[in-house]
Amino acid sequence: MANKTILMSRIRQIFRLHAQGRSKKQISILTGCSRNTVKKYLHKFIEKRLTYTEIDQLSDHELEQLFCPSEAPTREERFEQLQALMPELEKQMKRKGMTIGILWQQYHEQHPDGYAITQFYKHYRHYVKRAKPVMHMEHKAGDKVFIDFTGEKLAIADRDSGELQQVEVFVAILGCSQLTYVEAVYSQKKEDLVRACENALHYFGGVPAAIVPDNLKSAVTKSSRYEPTINETFADFAEHYGTVVLPARAYRPKDKALVEGAVKIIYRSIYTSISNQPYPTLEALNTAIREALEVHNTTAFKGRDYSRLQQFDEIERSVLQPLPAYPYEFKQQAIVTVMKNGHVCLGADKHYYSVPYRYIGKRVKLLYTSTRVEVYAHYERIAVHQRHGRKYHYTTNQEHLASAHRYISDWTPEKFIEQAQAIGEAVAAYIIMVIEHKQHPEQAYKSCSGILSLARKVGNDRLINACKRANDYGVYNYPIILQILDKKLDHMEEEPVEQPMPNHSNIRGSNYYE
């Protein structure tokens, strides 16, 4: 049948001329129809074994049903049918892995008499363009979250002085559902950026595949069209949450059109909803923002019957990655040189932490949180310690020390006194006095070690007697013990009555070191 149907009067004329014995060529000339059209209608006429008399008695509607049956819906019916499906098709297109080809296949299975794929695609793009009269970018569910700071700041007022302090406003929006998060922070520094971004992920209840910041200094150290340099702290934050950072290209506003559009909407929906009077604290301001934000996310889109939150619950919540078990601990960093004693100094606490001795004299990086201190050399972690706040104290891992240093590091007053007591009480009392007569206990460690080592050479009894003799002299060091033993003064007759140890306020006694 021809693409364009002809009038029923023409069909009657074809059949009448045929009944009169006219040829197909003559019928074509007389009716103005093409020979192929004449042949098609005559073929149907002969196939149905009808006579012209029978045809002439039919109404036009009956004639149309007989020779021109409507096998497919009209253009208007198909169009209205497809338009009714468009909101759902637009939602489906946001699912990860969905393509226009798959959508058409699903449509064609349910509506085999519907549009072919070319017309289907044309109508779909027209619908999207009409609903969003700007460049349209498809955002897959769970794929990206766009973050930025608004240009217009808010303010809080000091309760006592009334002085106003301007604060930044952070915005995060999921590309697919357009669920939005807003928070006021003190600055655009990386500490505030990381904390606000973390709060946004917890507000969403999951983690998208990528975070797309505008080229914020706190997120992007160096912008580039091809491979920007990500701030180490922000990259570490993204790694903790199992996502990546994909900065928007510089001078490419279409890359960040969604979040910039969200900022404009926030000016209207949130800025106008909160009080014009400055809030006393940042927490009070954020409470007001959160109330207005809930209204913003639960209000239906213009021209739609669903909201951002409904769209998020339906197609995006389930595909977000789960949040990690622990929140991110913000890491600060410092570049230091390993000291000759194999330790590095954390300037914030003035506390010292050990590193493997082979790094002595080399520059290393410290990454520290409120609970941990990590030491890196050429991107390799070489040491990790629990953070301690005691000033001028040392935290030492024995494995970091050279073998000679490990032995020395074990020297303590308690240890020397304990070893001396194993030999005799007189030796222990003498060792205490050796330690007491030095300004710092470490100054006496070598003397104590030397004195105790003599027990292996001369025996415990001689050392006990030598310590008693030296105590009588009131001299407390290693050389005097060695001299007594060399001259065998320890064999001299002892005094009839042993003099008790003097009770002096400067002598602390063995209990002090327990």
* pLDDT confidence of residue 3: 47
Query: For the chain, which ranges sit under pLDDT 70?
Result: 1-6, 60-61, 65, 68-76, 96-97, 130-138, 215-230, 248-259, 402-411, 438-443, 492-514
Question: Per-residue DSSP letters for 102-148?
Answer: HHHHHHHHH-TTS--HHHHHHHHHHHHHHHS-S------TTTEEEEE
What CA–CA distance (Å, rounded) separates 259 from 500? 85
Together in a domain, 420 and 508:
yes
What CA–CA distance (Å, rounded) separates 89 from 174? 19
User: In sequence order, which ranges of 299-353 are alpha helices (DSSP H)?
Assistant: 308-311
CATH code for position 200: 3.30.420.10
Together in a domain, 430 and 468:
yes
Q: What is the pLDDT of residues 19-49, one digit of tens each?
A: 878 888 888 887 778 888 888 888 887 877 7
Together in a domain, 20 and 110:
no
- Residue 406 resides in a domain: no
Residue count of the chain:
514
Domain coverage including residue 28: 8-67
- Residue 501 resides in a domain: yes
Together in a domain, 173 and 315:
yes
Which tokens is 87 given?
């909101």
Q: For the chain, how many structural domains are there in total?
A: 5
Which tokens is 471 given?
């105590």
Together in a domain, 223 and 276:
yes
Together in a domain, 18 and 79:
no
- Residue 122 resides in a domain: yes
Q: How far is CA 82 from each of CA 40, 86, 122, 137, rounded to the nearest angstrom? A: 33, 6, 12, 22
- Residue 49 resides in a domain: yes
Together in a domain, 167 and 257:
yes
Residue in 310, 79, 330 with CA at minimum distance from that of residue 190 = 330
Which H or E run contains 450? helix 441-453
Q: What is the pLDDT of residues 226-236, one digit of tens each?
A: 455 667 788 88
- Residue 325 resides in a domain: no
What CA–CA distance (Å, rounded) separates 356 from 367? 17
* pLDDT confidence of residue 465: 92
Residue carrying the six token digits 């606000």: 196
**Contact call for residues 192 and 299 (beta carbons, < 8 A):** no
- Residue 1 resides in a domain: no
Which H or E run contains 220? strand 220-222
- End-of-domain residue from the set 401, 419, 442: 401
The DSSP letter of residue 268 is I
Together in a domain, 314 and 227:
yes
The strand order across the sheet containing 351-354 reads: 343-346, 351-354, 394-395
pTM, two decimals, is 0.49
What CA–CA distance (Å, rounded) separates 233 from 330? 8
- End-of-domain residue from the set 25, 47, 67: 67
- Residue 138 resides in a domain: no
Residue carrying the six token digits 């020397």: 416
168 CB-side CA count, 13 A: 15
Together in a domain, 40 and 96:
no
- Residue 2 resides in a domain: no
Together in a domain, 120 and 159:
no
Per DSSP (E only), the strands in 287-388 are 332-337, 343-346, 351-354, 363-368, 372-377, 380-386
Together in a domain, 343 and 466:
no
Together in a domain, 298 and 416:
no
- End-of-domain residue from the set 131, 155, 171: 131
**Computed from CA positions of residues 205, 207, 208, 212, in that sequence, does the dihedral angle turn out positive or negative?**
positive
Phi, psi angle pair for 480, to nearest 5° = -65, -40
